[in-house]
Amino acid sequence: MRILVLGSGAREHAIIRALLAEDADHDITAAPGNAGIADDVRTIGIDPNDGVAVAGYAEAHGVELVVVGPEAPLVAGVSDAVRERGIPVFGPSKAAAKLEGSKAFAKRIMEAAGVPTGRAEVAGTLDEARETIDRFGAPYVVKANGLAAGKGVLVTDDRDAALEHARQWLEHGTVLIEEFLAGREVSLFLLSDGEHVLPLSPAQDYKRLLDGDEGPNTGGMGAYSPVPWLEENFVDEVIKTIALPTIRAMAEEQTPFIGLLYCGLIVTDAGPRVIEFNARFGDPETQVVLPRLVTPLSGLLYAAATGELGGVPRPEFALDVAVGVVLASEGYPEAPVTGRAILGMDAASAVPEVQLLHAATDIAAIATDATSSWSTETLVTSGGRVLTVVALGSTFDEARERAYEAIGKLTIEGGQFRTDIAAAVAPAAH
Ligand code: AMP
Ligand code: GLY
């Protein structure tokens, strides 16, 4: 199949690897991709947020399926532009992507659909925020009401910090004050064609920068899949109480959701509660979910994009477990240092069952040692999250050991990674 993948992260690299693993003959193009993606498939310099350019390219080149990775093209209406030309696209319309882009819209849909979530109120002024914060009580949850690149959420016991966060984000719009939900977090991805849903395997993400869930929130520092501490009926319960009601409410709003419904959940004593929806695959969860997928990915994405998910059986997953550890640049998430050499790629990728999925990597002409291959010696960092090192194993210990053995062979000056990814997956931990 001729497929165009939009995006440039390790998530898109994982999508492309899954497509190639299913059929090496797929004709895949990535826009813009990165250095690792360019090693696997054709990459082009089209701006993924430019709907006219993307749709024009897809039409001119006979693309049969467009897969949108990140949220920015969705919010910019790129899916609409592609769909208008009659080309199947996996990714919701601009209107449906508000499920991620506007937390207030998401709350309204959840309310309409009766979806279990934390109580929340929108505040437009500091007085309103203060009044709501005091009424809700500690721990305080204050969220920017819009896309905030992972920085908009503060969970704290410190009332002054909560008020300061509200004050800062009120300069950019409204804020949401939310009820604190206690429990463990899990991500569940569901493919949707606007009417039906099919679940992928659950994953857990590690959002904080440092071991022990300390430090600032990030885009995600690691993940594992499956999630053995979940109850057996967890996926069915999420489908019944959360995913299907949401998809139905979106259809009723005349904004059918076609693409990936990412349910960010907290498993409370009373059952799963939504903390956020995203309108796309999660990063880094995708890097641990897709390597375990046995069912061909292209067929699933195409069926969702063309409204044909109804008769499709649930995707199957290998019994193997996957652990992914993100290697990030010095200064991430505040001010990542770029242009640093990435060394040890060959040695790291030689560790059994390991994949090095590229995110912020680029090829640069830096001084090289003539005895090494170009792909190690000229690879440099170009942003915050540089690589996701993913390992499969038959147990979490085995997958963890492989992932950390591989990451130990990689060197980036000032590079950062967590050492506790998938260290505590047993039911009692966390
Ligand atoms: P979000 O960007 O909405 O996913 O929030 C970022 C992180 O803040 C989440 O991954 C949770 O760890 C935490 N969080 C968000 N909302 C809540 C809540 N209502 N209760 C407890 N923790 C929350
Ligand atoms: N892993 C969190 C996200 O993709 O938003």
CA distance 360 to 329: 9
CA of 292 to the centre of ligand 1 (A): 27
* Other CB atoms within 10 Å distance of the CB of residue 104: 18
Task: Please give the number of the atom of ligand 2 that sits closest to the Cα of 223.
Answer: 1
**Class of the CATH-defined domain 2-90:** alpha beta
What lies within 8 Å, CB to CB, of 145 at 6+ separation is 102, 103, 104, 122, 169, 173, 174, 175, 176
| Ranges of CATH 3.90.600.10 domains, the chain | 321-412
Q: Whose CA is nearest to atom 9 of ligand 1?
A: 275
Cβ-based burial of 77 (10 A; exposed 0-12, middle 13-18, buried ≥19): middle
Calculate Rg over the CA atoms of the chain: 21
CATH, domain range 182-305: 3.30.470.20
Q: What is the pTM of this model?
A: 0.93
CATH, domain range 119-178: 3.30.1490.20
**Distance between first and last Cα of the chain:** 43
Ligand 1 atom showing the smallest separation from residue 275 Cα: 16
Six token digits for residue 267: 């498993």
Domain with CATH 3.30.470.20 in the chain: 182-305
Q: Whole-angstrom Cα distance, residue 302 to residue 283?
A: 21
Residues 238, 272: contact at Cβ < 8 Å? yes
How many Å apart are CA 412 and CA 336, to the nearest integer? 12
Q: What is the mean pLDDT of each run of 10 residues along the chain (430 residues)?
A: 98 98 97 97 98 98 98 97 98 97 89 94 95 96 76 90 96 92 96 98 97 93 97 97 98 97 96 96 98 98 98 97 98 96 96 98 72 64 98 97 98 98 71
* Residue linked to tokens 């959360």: 242
With contact defined as beta carbons under 8 Å apart, do 189 and 199 qualify?
A: yes
Instruction: Give the sheet arrangement for strand 120-123, strand by strand.
Output: 120-123, 175-178, 140-144, 153-156
Residues framing ligand 1 (Cβ under 6 A)? 118, 141, 143, 153, 155, 178-181, 185, 207, 217, 264, 275-276
Ligand 2: residue of 278, 325, 388, 418 to mutate (most ligand atoms within 8 A of CB) is 278
Start and end residues for every CATH 3.30.1490.20 domain found in the chain: 119-178
- Of all ligands present, the nearest one to the C-alpha of 150 is 1
Q: CA–CA separation, 302 vs 90, rounded Å? A: 7
Q: What is the 3-state secondary structure (H, E, C) of 219-237?
A: CCCEEEECCCCCCCCHHHH
Residue 264 CA: nearest ligand 1 atom is 4
To test the ligand 1 pocket, which listed residue (155, 204, 218) has its Cβ within 8 A of the most ligand atoms? 155
Q: At what angle do helices 297-305 and 10-22 cross, to 10 degrees?
A: 110
User: Is the Cβ atom of 51 under 6 angstroms away from ligand 2?
Assistant: no
In the numeric block, which tokens belong to residue 215?
């430090």
| Ligand 2, pocket-test mutation among 205, 263, 388, most atoms within 8 A of CB | 205
Q: Is the CB of 287 under 6 A from ligand 2?
A: no
Nearest ligand to the C-alpha atom of residue 107: 1
- Residue linked to tokens 């109850």: 231
CATH number of 321-412: 3.90.600.10
Q: How far apart are CA 88 and CA 97, in angstroms?
A: 17
Alpha helices of 85-217 — where are they, by DSSP H? 98-101, 103-113, 126-136, 159-170
CA atoms within 13 A on the CB side of 48: 26
Q: What is the DSSP string of 351-396?
A: STTEEEEESSEEE------TTS-HHHHTEEE-SSEEEEEEEEESSH
Residue 174 sits at φ, ψ, to 5 deg, of -95, 165
Rounded distance between C-alpha atoms, residue 223 and residue 264, angstroms = 13
Separation of 370 CA from ligand 2 center, angstroms? 39
Distances (CA, A) of 254 to 105, 194, 196, 198: 14, 10, 16, 21
